[in-house]
Amino acid sequence: MGRLILVASGKGGVGKSTIVSSMAVALAGRGLRTLLLDADVGLRSVDLMMGIQDKVLYELADCLSLRCTLREAAVTHGNFPLLHIMTSGQDARPKDFEPKALSRVTRTLKERYDMVLVDAPAGIGRGVKNFVPFADEIILAATADDVCLRDTEKMAGMMMESCGKHPWLIINRFDRRYVKQGLVREPASSALALDLPLLGVIPYDESVYSAMVQGKTIPEGACAATAKAIDGICDRLLGLPPRRRGGLLGQLFGKEREGV
């Protein structure tokens, strides 16, 4: 039986879809059967980010209404045959996802895949709440600024109250210069303040945007340090021991370990 990992965020614009897409590529590259499900109903983006927008014929909403099978709705990534991508429904509404039907579908997906990564819509609306009961683990993506962290704290509280699961935290676009200027805290300090285990820290990297506009994820097109950050996140998610790292990334992950 596979694991369903829900990746959410308290606010939009933190790079959540970039993170989850990159994790999907990294996990499939390790030989794991991986499904990436874009759960942002009506506002899908993962198909564009993965370069499969012309291949999407059916969506999860079609499966729930019995217009297609799950296999027909899952599109195989061109470069990673173990990675499939599925969108929820461009013309659907969150209330269309009936809990019993969604429970049946997610159970089937976990039987077929080692990892099911759900890219949830930002915020605490029904779109994310639909998938919370079926998640084995929850990851909250955030940036290091206080505004985003306050939204993340509220999101974490909602998750723990509704399902009893304690989310992981990923800090994205971390720039140590702002720590030196006293504008943001160290990731470990932020995680401690939120009482969330720190899954990983992704450094600020201009090459991420360059890769994105080329239809590439972080492992495919960003600089090596940022790609290693994604690898580190996947290591922790899989329960593997941390790899030895030097330089900035080593400092970041060393500080993470102090705060977990």
The amino acid at 115: M
Question: Is pLDDT of 259 > 50?
Answer: no
Judged by DSSP in three states, 56 sits in: coil
CATH number at residue 240: 3.40.50.300
> Is the distance from CB of 204 to CB of 10 less than 8 angstroms?
no
Q: What is the pLDDT of residue 195?
A: 94
Q: What is the pLDDT of residue 44?
A: 65
| Residue % of the chain over a pLDDT of 70 | 89
Cα angle 7-9-75, degrees, rounded to a multiple of 5? 40
Question: Is pLDDT of 257 > 80?
Answer: no
- pTM, full prediction: 0.87
User: Domains in the chain: how many in total?
Assistant: 1
Contacts of 104 (CB under 8 A, 6+ apart): none
The pLDDT mean for the chain works out to: 85
> Is the distance from CB of 160 to CB of 166 less than 8 angstroms?
yes
> Is the distance from CB of 115 to CB of 29 less than 8 angstroms?
no
The CA-based dihedral angle spanning residues 72, 76, 81, 85, taken in that order and rounded to the nearest 10 degrees: -110
DSSP states along 176-199: HHHHHTTSS--HHHHHHHHT--EE
- Report which of 212, 220, 222, 223 is spatially closest to residue 247, judged by C-alpha positions: 223
The pLDDT tens digits of the residues spanning 15-60 come to: 999 999 999 999 999 999 999 998 887 666 787 777 777 788 888 8
Question: Is pLDDT of 231 > 90?
Answer: yes
Residue range of the domain that includes 223: 3-259
The pLDDT tens digits of the residues spanning 114-171 come to: 999 999 887 777 767 888 889 999 999 999 999 999 999 999 998 888 778 899 999 9
Task: Look up residue 125 and give its two tokens.
Answer: 């609306």
The amino acid at 61: A
Q: What is the pLDDT of residue 43?
A: 64
- Report which of 238, 243, 179, 231 is spatially closest to residue 202, judged by C-alpha positions: 231
